[in-house]
Structure formats: structure tokens, C-alpha cells
Chains A and B, each alone.
Chain A
């Protein structure tokens, strides 16, 4: 007698996403680049009882394999039903198996495999044996009298490849691609349909079957956990952008205090300063907010946050990833001396149509997305949101006082994925934010007659953006992204003050990547932007009078209307060189960008940006990285205007930026990323200290600056039930506005920024997460000894110290979030509550003085606020 290995095939695999190895549809996970392979098989001893009884059988196992290929757990999915020890023997043997690890783009990853272990007696052992308890043979000629469909509860997703078993009798059927099953010859009477599958709760459904009539049963199988954690590349993936930090969307959605907004999560990563709550600024590596570029699919937009900075202008469910580049980025991005945030919209859409309704304290929105076509080649997503704070706030304000903050946004995306060499997508999006504040009639808002009336501000953006990708050959492709749209901004106070500007912008980004071999990739590209900007300015006084600072001077209304055109056809060339035999070992990315900006009638300026970055894998798991480059940024639009006919004599602001860092893997889940940086700034645009009349320029390129620091990120990828990261930034950023002045701390200079974020999945689809922050207070300028201006009834302060020579007290806060998912047959409901500032830290956000500057106090940040919300997801 001998034991034979009847079946050694891997019947299936699933990415291990604890607690449920297959808690996400396989086709929504990043593809495995390498499947696990059995490299060390251990033969199980044939159980004596089974051999004596001459019983054979197959045991279906679920084997957990970690990122090293070791077996961490074995479970029996389908026993033989003989109770003769075959299962225990199979499990014991499988525990000592050894596999080669599975890998995806991030490297080795844990997986679960199904493994069928067969026990077959040899001929000698079978001699004379009469297998009395073998399952009855399937009678192919018997009619199908039981069929149905197996779908996932909540998502209605058909479950293919699942085994539906009839008890008693053990007749089985495997579901097809549409989740359908059919079984012949099921004995009449009461039976139980059983489905046992890794990652799903076992199903046992009683059914009454007739021998002569077809019984159809739809089975709903409940996933053990629907809260998936798609592991998206993280930041370990070698990238030309050596400081690129990408985090998975599911981590993003669970970070407390962000309202589930992926772009706000950027502010928990190294290099990003904390800006006062409600401002929504992006301050990256000591740069001004306007020095960092914000992009949607590579096209620059002026604003990324809605009013107050609570939420970004793109529906989070349509965001595929957010690339956060605090520095060291290549020539693909320009016109910025700070960092870059590129929001990439979703390119993959679910096969079944989803409708998602989400609501929280601030707004409510609806998203519809899915695919169409025989091959699901047409993906689409349509979303819209509208805030309703404007309806709630009046309930808390005195009669007659009106504050109406309001925003809305919309997005529509179409993605076409053909079989041929072409891909195409179209994105239309826009948003508008409005704030109106008014007081009761007759209420004096100030002593200034021109300061009365309704305060209003509006800004909006609309864009249509297409992307066409054509692959000429395996080595050459073309990517073209044209876009067109407008931006509008308006501020008004009564009838005396009104600033209004509209920009009609066209942008084209095109690249021609050429990859002759695995060691070289050359990417020439163009980044064109151009348009016109009509604007009007209405002031109650002439700006020249403002320079005289005489409140008794008679005011003359000042009105100007003009159109400012501008364009910049930047071109760039970058290379990705992998000179070593192992192309993954060393990556060098040299690049050059040519910047050109023309404001007709004002200035034409140009500059070259040489940049170089590199990454060297010193040993397996340890990588050295560095970058050095020059970055130019044109003056802001409002700085590019003069009231007289003389041209604006402004040039680019410039930054010389360098960084050096180390990435260290510690096991499959933990990574440490440490980086030091230095940035020297010059030609910064500052106010003209000699401005006396409208014949003088408002601004000059006199400023200089410097920023340097250390950034550390320790990250635990979403493995098992846990994810989290610890981010620390130690930095200093300074400015000097005029050559003969002293250096002073940058307005948002924060010596220490420490942020810890962690999330944990509990059973019953409950997730908890928390965030803790400690940040050095922002610099402030001390004042005292106000002198009373009798004519204006207000005190003028004297600064008693250098600009920004003092600081606000440090900021600290702990926030939490709890999510609970309810799953029904056709829909799911996620209830959550964001617990902001749980420990009630009294954090000063702004400094306030009393009327004569003899007393000082602070406007504090948010107190403890529980912010509930829900998301309902329907599947069709």
C-alpha cells in the first residue's frame, strides 16, 4: 500500500487581507506579479484507520502563506466526511509546506491558497476492498432538480468558483462566472445547502426539494469583512519621484478628523505643516501656500479645498490616489518652488453599478459609477455634493445676522479601455464656494462708512479634461491631456469694495515616453498653459492715497477694468536610467525643464530647471535616495499688474532644493523613511519698500529665504488588522524681505511636527482609528503700547519685538473615529462618528489683542466635537 498524492494543484488563491483573506473582490486588488509556488512538499502519513477501512478521500485546505512563503495557518474547507483522520493528517502535513512568496508591485505579500490534498490507496491496498462509504456516483442522466445563484450579500456580486454542497449526500456543484449552480439528482425532501469558503461566513440553508420539479434557490453569502484595504503601492515602489508618498485610499478614509478626505490626509505626512483649522492651506517644506502646486490628473487647478478647508473639491470616491511630492520632484511638474499634490481620479470602475449616498455634518452627496459594454470597457462615474451649513447656521445666529457659507461640486468621468492600442478618458468637474455675511439693517459694522453692507466672496472652477493614450509599440507611447475651463474669484463689501477676476484657461500636457530597453526610458513632454483673465477692481479710495495713510484725506472711488492675457509653453525632458544589470538596483532620473511665461505688455521671462534624483538599493530592504534641482515659479497673477503703463519688472522666484534620504524595510509590513532637505530661495516677490505712488511698482524681487529639516515616516502597512504611521518633521524656515533687514521666521515655521495615526479592524465590521498630533506653535510678532489715533477711534500698535519672534503655544490634539458597517442583501450602510479633539486640547489658533494692546488672548481651535455621518452604498 502506498500513499499517492492525488491532487497537488492550487485550486485558487486570494490575497491575504486579514481578517478575511478574500474580503475584497480579487479583481479589485492589485494584480499579483508572481503567484506562490510549492517548493517543499511534505507527504502526510496515511492514517491507519483509513487504510484499514480502505477509505480514500480529498481534503480541501485553506493555507495562509506569509510574505516570506512560510505557512502560518491551515484550515479545512471541505472535509472527507469519513472521520478517519484524513483531515488531521492533511493539516499537519500542510503546516510544514514551504512556498515561494507571492509578489505584487510592492514586493512580497501574504496570500491564502486553496489546496486539495488527496489520499488514494495503491492497488495492493485496495485488493479485495469494497469501498462501502464512497459517495454515490453522479447519475448524469438524472435531471437537474436544484439550481440557483450564489451572490455576495450587500454587493450582489456573483460569486464564481464557489462549491455548493448538498447535505446529506455530499453532492457538489461549483458556481460558474455568473455565480450560477445546478445540481442533478438531489434526493427529494428536506436538504441543507452548505457553502464554506475562505473569507466568508459559512452558509447552511434548509431547502425542500422535489424529485420531479426544479427547485431554484438564490443563496446570499456574507463576506466576513467588507472593509477592504487595497494596498496601493505605498511608497516603497521605486518611483522616479524619490520623495513620492502614496498611501492607500482605505487608510485615508479612516483617518480621524479628515472627513474621509484623501487630500487632507496629506497634512499628516512628513513635510506638511499644520495650518490653522479652517484655512485649508497647504504649507510644504516651509513654502508659502501659493508656492505648492495642486493638480487633478496632471492639470493644475487654483484651489483644492472648499471654503474653510474642511473638504477637497473632488469627491473622495472618485479619487484613485493622491501623490504627495514634498520636494525633489522631476521636471514633469513646474511653476512651483514648494511641493506638489496630484490628485489622480479613478481609472477602474466596478462591474456592477454602485450608487453611494454619503452625508455628514457639512454636506451630502451622491455618486453613481459602474461599467457598460460587453467587455465592461466603458467605465463611468458621476458625482455631486452640496453643503447645507448655510441652512443650519441661521438657527444659531441672532435675528438679522446672516452667515451663509455654501459650496457645491460635481464630477463626471468616462473611461474607455479598448483592446487595441488606445485608451481614452474624459473628466468634467467643477465647484463653487460662496460666503455671504450680513448684519441687520442699521447695524454699524464699523465706523467706516465704506465698510458697511453685505460681505460676499465667491470662487469657482470648471474644467473639462480629456486624456488619450496611444501605444505605438512596446517601446513607444503617446499621452496627451488637453483641458479647458475657467476660474472665477470675487470679493465684495457693500457697494464700495469689489474685486472680481475670471480666468479662461487652456492647458495641454503631452508626453512621448520611449523605453528602448529595461535600462532606459526617455520622456519628452510639454506642459502648456495659456489664457486670458478679465478683472475689475472697485475701491472706495485711490491706492495712492492708501500709501499716504491719512484717514482724513478725501477718498476718491477707484475703478479699473482690464484684461490680462498670459501663456507659458514649458517643455521638459526627463530620463529614467537603470544602469546596473539588475535594473531595480539603481535608478537615476536626470531632467531639464524650460520655463517660459509671457504676460503681454508686462514681461516675458524664461529660465531652465536642471534636476536630478536617484535611488540606490544598497541591499535588500535598504535604499539610499537623493535629489538636487532648481525650481522656478512665476509671480502670482495679482503681482503681475501695474496701474500705469510701465511694464511690471518682476522675474521668477527661484529655489535650489536638495535632499538625501534612506528607506529601510523592517519585515514585510514596516518601513522607515528618513530624509533631510535644504532649500535656498531667492528672488522672492515682496512689497516694494519704496512704493509712494502709482508710478512705483507694487512688488519687487527682493526677498530671500531658506528652509531645512529632517523628515521621518515610520509606517505599518495594512497587514492583519492594523495600519498606522508615525510622521515627524524637524524643520526651520526663514525669510528676509529686504537686503538690509534681519531674517525672520516664516509665518508657518513649525520646529516639531509629530503625527501618529493608527487604525484597527475589530470583528463585526467595526473599525476604530485614532490620530494624535503635537505641533510647535506658529510664529507671532509681539505688540504692546497702543497709541490712540483720535481721528479713527482706534489704537495703533508698536511691535515690541522682531517680526515673528514669538510663538503661539504648541498645538496638540487626539482624535478618533469609529466605523460600523451594516450589510443587507442589496446594500450596505456605514455609520461613523469622527471624534474631533477627544481630549479637549485648548489649542490657540490665532492671537488676539484687546483694543489698546495691553491684553492678549487666543482664538482657540475646535473643542471636542463628535461629527457623525453615514454612507449608504447600493448595488444594482
Chain B
């Protein structure tokens, strides 16, 4: 494959992950990021869609997971969440039995971690704990619930009795050419002019934590978060940044309209913690 790339045997251009041109789920954050048994966990999501309106975002949580891709949810059960239809108490009961925890914007997702979640683990295993799988399904307006019309995503949430549980990273600011952009500000960018975008994390956002290794010994480690850039238009010199260099060059598009568009930056701490920010820009 590499040889082909070197010889320039490229394929027809495929859409790029960083370019937002369809309904996407870019981020899901749990709070707390690493709950203990009995904790109440709330969720937020970054769902973007430049082309269609999102009717609802449905959430399920399964402590042990149904398979690698999260809870197994019957499609017919999902259909009961049609906002235009009636939701019977039986349907609701079946939904909760399947792990249903919310449907935005009507029912914010909340998951109460069972108090006995770790009872099957030994005392040595509990600091590492288990993983819960959170399924998120974004349903556009007018969609008939065919899988190819939905955006399906899943996220893992560790449940443990860790002495240094994980926290979501905190983004302190985003700047354009070293100028910090205040929230709600629309930044004007000139076509043909590169701009340096920088994301700064709050102090101590890269946490130091204790890890119990395979030999039972404790190790102190520091998080190594990474950042992914997304945009509706333009280009980046690179779309992934590694800690601590959260900086990319953005090239405005040559032919974009002057309507405001968005640039997003999502930070993941590799332990399940997540945070994001966005930048409204107008190209001129």
C-alpha cells in the first residue's frame, strides 16, 4: 500500500473525517468521567449537522455491554420514540429494561450507576473496575429509522473505585493567531491567509493518576491527551494534535460564502474524559 502511495497511485478522493458535511456525533462527555457505583452520571454530547435538523438524540447505557458496539437495541423499540407517536407505559418499561437513559431534547440523559455494579469484582480488581457502554443515536427530522439515515455512536464509561478517578479535561481558551477568542464571537478570516489556531487547556488538565500494573504494583502516570480538529470548510495542515502541541494552521476556503461556519476542537484524554470547544468564523 505504501508503495502505491509513493508512486502516486491515489484513489478517487473520499470524504474526510475532519470535514463536517453530514450529521455527526463528535463528542460525548460523562460527568463524572469515571463514576463509582451508585453515582448519578449526566451526559452531554456534541452533535453537529449542517444539512438536516436533528429531531432527537436517544441514549442507552449498558454496564457490561451487549457486544463490542454497545447495547443491543431492538429497532422496533427505537421506533416507539417517534415524537409524533404515543409512548405507552409498556413501551417505556421496555425501553428502560433495554438500558434507555434519555432522549434529548425531551429527556436529558441520566444514568444511575447500580450500587452493586462492582460486586462481582475482587477488592484488587475494583480500582480498575468495569466499563459501561453508552449508545448514542442521532435521529434526523423525518428519518424513517433506517440505519443508514441515523448517526450511531458509542462511548465507554469506566466505573471503578479508583483512588485517582479520571476527570474530563477542561479547555481554557481557543485563540486565532495568538488572540484569544471570547465565546460567542464570530471571527472573520481572509481567504488565502493561513491562521494559527491554538487550544489551551486549564492548568493541571493533564492529570497525574495512579495505575495498578499487571504485577500489582502502583505506577504514577500523566495523561497524554490529544485534540481533533473539525470544520465545515477550509483545510488544516494536520487534523490531529498531540499533547502539549494543540496547534494547527487553518487555511480558509477559496470559494466559501460569507455565512458563518463552525470549527470544532475536541480533546480526549485517552481515559474516557472529553471536552470540546468551537469557533464561529466568517470567510471574506
Contacts and interface: CB of A to CB of B under 8 A. Distances in A.
Interface of A: 277-278, 307-308, 393, 403, 405, 435, 437, 442-444, 446-447, 449, 452, 542, 549-552, 554, 556, 784-785, 787-791, 793-794, 796, 845-846, 848-852, 854-855, 857-863
B9 A556 contact: no
B154 interface: yes
A458 to B, nearest CB: 15
A785 B271 CA distance: 26
Contact of A788 (B154, B221, B238, B271): B154
Contacts of A542: 214
Contact of B155 (A785, A790, A796, A857): A790
Given A550-B131, A790-B27, A793-B228, A859 B155 contact: no
Given A788-B151, A846-B1, 4 more contacts: A785-B152, A791-B268, A858-B12, A862-B9
B266 A793 contact: yes
A857 B6 contact: no
Nearest to A861: B9
Interface size class of B (residues with CB under 8 A): 35 or more
6 contacts: A551-B270, A552-B271, A554-B213, A787-B69, A790-B27, A793-B266
A851 B240 contact: no
B25 A859 contact: no
A427 to B, nearest CB: 30
A258 to B, nearest CB: 17
Given A443-B238, A452-B242, A788-B151, A552 B131 contact: yes
Contact of B240 (A308, A446, A549, A554): A446
A779 B228 CA distance: 34
A438 B241 CA distance: 17
Contact of A447 (B25, B221, B228): B228
B14 A857 contact: yes
B152 A859 contact: no
B202 interface: no
A788 B224 CA distance: 22
A787 B4 contact: no
B194 interface: no
B9 A449 contact: no
A449 B154 contact: no
B82 to A, nearest CB: 21
B156 A791 contact: yes
Contact of B4 (A278, A444, A556): A278
Nearest to A450: B224
B251 to A, nearest CB: 15
B2 interface: yes
A444 B14 contact: no
B131 A403 contact: no
B98 to A, nearest CB: 17
Contacts of A550: 131, 156
A791 B3 contact: no
B110 interface: no
B122 interface: no
B14 A791 contact: no
Closest 10 CB pairs of A and B: A851-B17, A278-B3, A850-B14, A788-B153, A790-B155, A857-B11, A857-B12, A444-B240, A787-B152, A308-B3
B11 A787 contact: no
Contacts of B24: 788
B71 to A, nearest CB: 12
A863 B14 contact: no
B4 A846 contact: yes
A781 to B, nearest CB: 17
Given A785-B148, A851-B16, A444 B226 contact: yes
A846 to B, nearest CB: 6
A551 B238 CA distance: 23
Contact of B148 (A784, A846, A862): A784
Contacts of B195: none
Contacts of A554: 128, 211, 213, 221
Contacts of A796: 68-69
In this complex, the member of B7, B128, B147 whose beta carbon has the largest number of chain A beta carbons within 10 angstroms is: B7
Nearest to A542: B214
Given A447-B228, A549-B68, A554-B211, A858 B11 contact: yes
Contacts of B156: 550-552, 791
B118 to A, nearest CB: 16
B245 interface: yes
B2 A789 contact: no
A452 B245 CA distance: 14
Contacts of B220: none
A785 to B, nearest CB: 5
Contacts of A277: 4
A863 B9 contact: yes
Contacts of B11: 848, 857-860
Interface string B201-243: 0000000000101100000010010101000000000101110
A552 B34 CA distance: 11
Contacts of B17: 793-794, 850-852
A789 B158 contact: no
Contacts of A278: 3-4, 7
B275 interface: no
Contacts of B120: none
Interface in B7-48: 7, 9-17, 24-25, 27-28
B272 interface: yes
Contact of A859 (B1, B15, B221): B1
B2 A790 contact: no
B274 A790 contact: yes
A845 to B, nearest CB: 7
Nearest to A844: B11
B2 A791 contact: no
Interface string B228-265: 10000000001011100100000000000000000000
B238 A444 contact: yes
A851 B26 CA distance: 13
Nearest to B17: A851
In this complex, the member of B4, B27, B131, B155 whose beta carbon has the largest number of chain A beta carbons within 10 angstroms is: B4
Contacts of B4: 277-278, 845-846, 859, 861
Contacts of A549: 68
B153 A787 contact: yes
B274 A859 contact: no
In this complex, the member of A784, A790, A861 whose beta carbon has the largest number of chain B beta carbons within 10 angstroms is: A790
Contacts of B69: 787, 796
A711 B283 CA distance: 63
A743 B1 CA distance: 27
Given A549-B68, A556-B213, A846-B4, A787 B15 contact: no
A789 B154 CA distance: 5
B10 A859 contact: yes
Interface string B152-196: 111110100000000000000000000000000000000000000
A554 B151 CA distance: 29
Given A542-B214, A790-B25, A855-B14, A785 B147 contact: yes
Contacts of B153: 787-790
In this complex, the member of A449, A452, A863 whose beta carbon has the largest number of chain B beta carbons within 10 angstroms is: A449
A862 B7 contact: yes
A787 B9 contact: no
Interface string B120-140: 000000001001000010000
Contacts of A556: 213-214
A651 B165 CA distance: 48
A855 to B, nearest CB: 5
A788 B242 contact: no
A845 B10 CA distance: 11
Contacts of A851: 14-17
A784 B25 CA distance: 17
A852 B20 CA distance: 12
B145 to A, nearest CB: 13
Contacts of B7: 278, 862
A467 to B, nearest CB: 36
Given A787-B152, A859-B1, A449 B226 contact: yes
